[in-house]
């Protein structure tokens, strides 16, 4: 079937990969700087990444009384001192302006509803017009070309610079070649999502392409399992409807390191859920006279029906703490020509756990804008490279090879096996060395024996092949990073190392591609970002892990 594929060539100054909030702002900003911009999206612009579930947008606004020092102190504490303050300062300085742009475009309402959330965040509602229609319209009016339903599989390099990418259409027998001066990766993250749960942005495509192009990847040791209900665990759109219909507020306190969210006037109360003392605790909640919950009752946010369960999106990283490692504060990957933003960038504005609602979406907007600006400035001074057609040809051959295989394994089977390895709670939620090593041994076998023996009979299966390979690569990244971090911190809990170890592990784990496989290194957090190291353990880390009680003051 691969012989039937025809090729279409595209040329631009800035190529943006992904049509979610980060890609939207990156493309718009680069186009506003007079660059020729193409957005290539695996799905459709305005329906990718965060955009289907966008509901809150974290904004720093001094007019509302926000204090930068309070924000920094709070996010450092909740992120357990792995926060990149260069990027968090970017969040403070830019988030309000990005929100105002969304208002101008009609993507959010003009009204100024807001709440104070988790001590650090003013959250504004995204309840404007249909962003599936508005976002593409805004980009087209700015002169941006949209190429949708195309999956990219490989970044093209020439003289150690990224100069393009190759991909294929999801339904049509067409290979697409994109030639560019700079590329902004906004392809999101991923997770090992169980059957029935929405799979948007689930396969770590951006991480895989950047890793093979020479970029370092980080944040793989911090998981956000996502919770749901046990009656209709797949029904996230019912949860989303409650977000839009009812007013959202937030109060101090953690759910997996983030705030407690309540829904007013409808409160869904868990009568028989398991104890969640570390996750939800109403002891400090100031109740109104009409509060229907009653003392000691847990408000479970966005929960459709039944008991709370973990693992709906196993292996998902903490938003904004997973992806391409930036070597500077311009969203630059360290590979010439390659930038990243949003959930494709390990900006670490949240550190080891998610601090508050809205930070993920506004972080994507802020970083997308900044990455688009940096990529445009880079493209402006870069001469067009022309002699690299052979690189595209080889990449296309690798991309379409599974269509030529008459025998081999089904990518569906590989994905199911991989999910069975990665989704048990005792692998990535409650971690321990022997279990992580057992999972890694299985992943290595799949990598060495199965990955290059996958077959595809059509475009749909070709997509599944490349997605399965990307999931497999990230499984190895996550298991190796979790094995390397021999401590517990934020959303990383090691049963065999239950204590935070500030002496050894105020560091990020970076993963890069070496000649013989993955190379993992530690990157120390700058000393002035580490908080007060003289604090007692219990004061510095108010949330406890099972097994660290002897470190806490009575």
- The overall longest dimension of the chain from CA atoms, in Å, is 73
For the chain, where do the domains classified as CATH 3.50.50.60 start and end?
Answer: 2-225+316-392
Of 442, 278, 362, the C-alpha closest to 96 is: 362
Residues 6+ apart with CB under 8 A from 551: 499, 537, 538
Neighbours of 367 (CB within 10 A): 33
3-state secondary structure of 508: strand
Distance CA 370, CA 332 (A): 10
- Determine whether domain 399-503 maps to CATH 1.20.58.100: yes
For the chain, where do the domains classified as CATH 1.20.58.100 start and end?
Answer: 399-503
pLDDT digits (tens, 9 = 90+) for 180-238: 999 999 999 988 876 656 555 579 999 999 999 999 999 999 998 776 667 766 665 55
Of 375, 506, 440, the C-alpha closest to 76 is: 506
Alpha-helical runs (H) found in 149-194:
none
**Tokens 């929100």 — which residue?**
99
pLDDT digits (tens, 9 = 90+) for 79-96: 999 999 999 999 999 999
Distance CA 255, CA 281 (A): 9
Q: How many helices (H) and strands (E) does the chain have?
A: 14, 22
Whether 249 shows a pLDDT value over 80: the answer reads no
Distance CA 21, CA 390 (A): 34
CATH number given to 2-225+316-392: 3.50.50.60
Of 283, 223, 217, the C-alpha closest to 253 is: 283
Res 197: pLDDT: 62
* Band of residue 266 on the pLDDT scale cut at 50, 70, 90: very low
Least confident window among 1-15, 52-66, 101-115 = 101-115
């Amino acid at each position: 079937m691969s012989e039937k594929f025809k090729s279409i060539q595209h040329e631009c100054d800035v190529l943006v990969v992904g049509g979610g909030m980060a890609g939207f702002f990156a493309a718009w900003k680069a186009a506003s700087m007079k660059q020729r911009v193409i957005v290539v999206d695996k799905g459709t612009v305005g329906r990718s990444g965060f955009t289907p579930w966008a509901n809150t947008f974290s904004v720093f606004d001094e007019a509302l009384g926000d204090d930068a020092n309070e924000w920094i102190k709070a996010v450092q504490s909740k992120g357990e001192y792995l926060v990149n303050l260069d990027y968090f300062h970017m969040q403070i300085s830019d988030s309000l302006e990005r929100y105002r742009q969304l208002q101008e475009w009609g993507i959010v309402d003009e009204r100024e509803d807001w709440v104070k959330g988790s001590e650090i965040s003013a959250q504004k509602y995204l309840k404007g017009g249909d962003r599936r229609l508005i976002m593409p319209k805004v980009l087209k009016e700015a002169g941006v070309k949209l190429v949708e339903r195309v999956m990219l599989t490989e970044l093209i390099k020439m003289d150690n610079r990224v100069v393009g990418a190759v991909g294929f259409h999801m339904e049509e027998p067409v290979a697409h070649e994109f030639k560019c001066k700079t590329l902004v990766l906004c392809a999101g993250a991923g997770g090992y999502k169980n059957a029935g749960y929405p799979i948007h942005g689930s396969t770590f495509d951006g991480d895989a392409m950047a890793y093979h192009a020479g970029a370092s990847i980080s944040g793989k040791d911090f998981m956000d399992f996502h919770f749901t209900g046990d009656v209709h665990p797949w029904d996230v759109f019912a949860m989303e409807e409650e977000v839009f219909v009812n007013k959202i507020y937030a109060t101090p306190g953690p759910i997996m390191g983030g705030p407690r969210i309540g829904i007013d006037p409808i409160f869904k109360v868990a009568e028989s859920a398991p104890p969640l003392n570390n996750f939800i605790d109403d002891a400090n909640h100031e109740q109104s006279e009409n509060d229907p919950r009653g003392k000691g009752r847990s408000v479970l946010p966005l929960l459709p029906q039944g008991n709370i369960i973990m693992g709906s999106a196993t292996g998902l990283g903490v938003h904004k703490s997973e992806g391409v490692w930036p070597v500077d504060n311009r969203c630059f990957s360290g590979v010439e020509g390659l930038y990243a933003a949003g959930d494709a960038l390990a900006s670490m504005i949240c550190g080891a756990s998610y601090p508050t609602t809205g930070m993920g979406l506004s972080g994507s907007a802020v970083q997308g804008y900044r990455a688009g600006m940096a990529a445009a400035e880079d493209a402006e001074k870069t001469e067009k490279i022309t002699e690299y057609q052979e690189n595209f040809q080889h990449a296309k051959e690798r991309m379409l090879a599974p269509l030529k295989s008459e025998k081999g394994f089904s990518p569906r089977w590989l994905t199911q096996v991989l999910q069975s390895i990665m989704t048990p709670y005792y692998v990535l939620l409650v971690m321990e060395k022997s279990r992580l090593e057992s999972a890694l041994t299985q992943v290595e076998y799949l990598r060495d024996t199965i990955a290059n023996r996958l077959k595809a009979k059509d475009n749909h299966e070709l997509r599944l092949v490349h997605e399965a390979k990307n999931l497999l690569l990230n499984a190895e990244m996550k298991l190796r990073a979790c094995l390397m971090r021999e401590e517990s911190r934020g959303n990383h809990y090691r049963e065999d190392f239950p204590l935070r170890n500030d002496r050894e592990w105020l560091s990020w784990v970076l993963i890069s591609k070496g000649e013989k496989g993955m190379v993992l290194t530690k990157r120390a957090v700058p000393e002035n970002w580490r908080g007060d190291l003289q604090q007692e353990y219990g004061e510095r880390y108010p949330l406890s892990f099972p097994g660290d009680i002897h470190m806490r003051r009575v």
